[in-house]
């Protein structure tokens, strides 16, 4: 077994935490293993305007990392499992899916009110078509606002704190109506937990209101399908083996 492996990832704080999580899992089994983290900016990280609902199921957040993997610039990549494209590039395979640390969607509200207590016409920021559709089905009076950016940027929008230059540009490109304050945001609870922000969770939204993505809270490790040795090494943290046993 090699002692140093190059792990490719997006460069957001959450993505780096996810690599740390995978490293910790592998370290328990392979105490001598070392990782070199290779940060890669993807098109999805640079484009803060396109609604996530327009690109769900594509490689919007993984394309550049997949290409680096195929060029052997990295040995494997770590992603939020729900960010993977529906179809991986030829030559790549999912080496492992980790257990979910929390499958729930979380409400973060300014007022500390849960979904059922929010005032009529409350403005809720989210990006996923799944969340938008289910929120409107739960309460037709909600005004759903499309927002983009990493978790920290979304919390800044909610808190009306100083925005990064990229988030500010994205906000400036929205309509005047969309610039009005939002009352709450809906994001994955697992992201807040991994960033040490679980105290920001106002409510874990019940599954009968918001049914989450089936892989929410899990991480996906992708490698080249012909790298048999590495696939065997990574299989030790693959939760799918347990499901089949």
CB 221 within 8 A of CB 94: yes
Boundaries of domain holding 133: 105-204
Q: Which CATH number does the domain housing residue 143 bear?
A: 3.40.190.10
**Total domains present in the chain:** 2
17 Cβ neighbours under 8 A, 6+ residues apart: 194, 195
Same domain, 160 and 228: no
- Whether 113 maps to a domain, the answer reads yes
88 and 39 within one domain: yes
pLDDT, tens digit, for every residue of 191-235? 999 999 999 999 999 999 999 999 999 999 999 999 999 999 999
Asked if residues 181 and 160 have their Cβ atoms less than 8 Å apart, the reply is yes
Is the residue at 209 inside a domain?
no
Helices (H) and strands (E) in the chain, counts: 9, 10
The Cα 50–Cα 28 span in angstroms is 40
**pLDDT tens figures, 13-22:** 999 999 999 9
Q: Do 121 and 73 share a structural domain?
A: no
The mean per-residue pLDDT over the stretch 83-93 comes to: 92
Q: How far apart are CA 87 and CA 145, in angstroms?
A: 29
Asked whether residue 47 is domain-assigned, the answer is yes
d(CA 66, CA 88): 9
């Amino acid at each position: 077994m090699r002692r140093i492996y190059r792990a490719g990832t997006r460069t957001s704080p959450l993505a780096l935490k996810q690599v740390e999580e995978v490293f910790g899992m592998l370290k328990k089994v392979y105490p001598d293993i070392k990782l070199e983290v290779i940060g890669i900016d993807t098109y999805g990280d640079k484009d803060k305007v396109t609604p996530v609902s327009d690109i769900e199921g594509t490689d919007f957040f993984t394309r550049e990392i997949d290409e680096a993997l195929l060029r052997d610039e990295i040995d494997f990549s770590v992603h939020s499992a729900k960010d993977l494209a529906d179809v991986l590039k030829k030559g790549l395979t999912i080496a492992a899916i980790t257990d979910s640390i929390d499958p729930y969607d979380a409400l973060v509200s300014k007022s500390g009110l849960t979904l059922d207590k929010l005032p009529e016409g409350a403005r809720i920021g989210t990006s996923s078509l799944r969340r938008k559709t289910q929120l409107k089905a739960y309460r037709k009076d909600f005004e759903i606002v499309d927002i983009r950016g990493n978790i920290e940027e979304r919390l800044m929008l909610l808190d009306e704190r100083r925005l990064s230059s990229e988030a500010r540009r994205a906000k400036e490109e929205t309509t005047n109506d969309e610039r009005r304050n939002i009352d709450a945001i809906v994001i994955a609870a697992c992201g807040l937990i991994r960033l040490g922000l679980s105290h920001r969770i106002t409510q874990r939204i019940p599954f009968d209101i918001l049914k989450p993505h089936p892989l929410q809270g899990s991480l996906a490790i992708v490698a080249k399908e012909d790298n048999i040795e590495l696939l065997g090494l990574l299989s030790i943290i693959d939760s799918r083996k347990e499901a089949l046993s």
